[in-house]
Amino acid sequence: MADLQSFKDHFLLLCEGGFIAVNQGDEDAAVKLFKASELLNPKNAMSKVGMGYMHMMKLELKQACNLFEEVLTKEPDNEMAKTFLGLSYSLTSSDVSKGEKLLSESATKSDDPMVKNLANAALEFVDEFIKKAPTPMDVGKEKKKGKGKEK
């Protein structure tokens, strides 16, 4: 444990490296970096936010939502986790309105301008691409309704 103490100041570097690895598509490195950062500072939620971000980018939305919700249980004011949770919900066909609500809260209440920009961009994306186009599930329902009327 004495060795870990000498690396405490590397926590942010490891977390940042994890986010960079996610953006580079290097899941293996991202997981290792986030786990290493969690070893150095297990009380800091940023490692879990990073793991959730990785799952969100892979569209593993259920896992992402679980991690973001876990962070928000411990830190209800974590705006980054709340915004990522809103974005993850918005990409889930059954929870779009729930996601929009969280994103709207982040866009208006956050003190961090980057979080506000992300929330606003996500809301625009939801309006332009998610709400307008019918989902494959909606198309299937329309076909079934049409068949029922013909009989």
Structurally, what CATH architecture does the domain formed by 45-133 represent?
Answer: Alpha Horseshoe (1.25)
51 Cβ contact list (under 8 Å, min separation 6): 31, 34, 67
Whether the CB-CB separation of 54 and 66 falls below 8 Å is answered with no
How high is the pLDDT of residue 151? 44
- Minimum mean pLDDT among 5-19, 33-47, 60-74, 136-150: which range? 136-150
| Residue-range domain boundaries for the chain | 1-44, 45-133
Average pLDDT over residues 52-60: 98
Give the residue among 25, 30, 74 at the shortest CA–CA distance from 52.
Answer: 30
Whether the per-residue pLDDT at 145 is higher than 70: the answer is: no
Give me the pLDDT at residue 147, please: 62
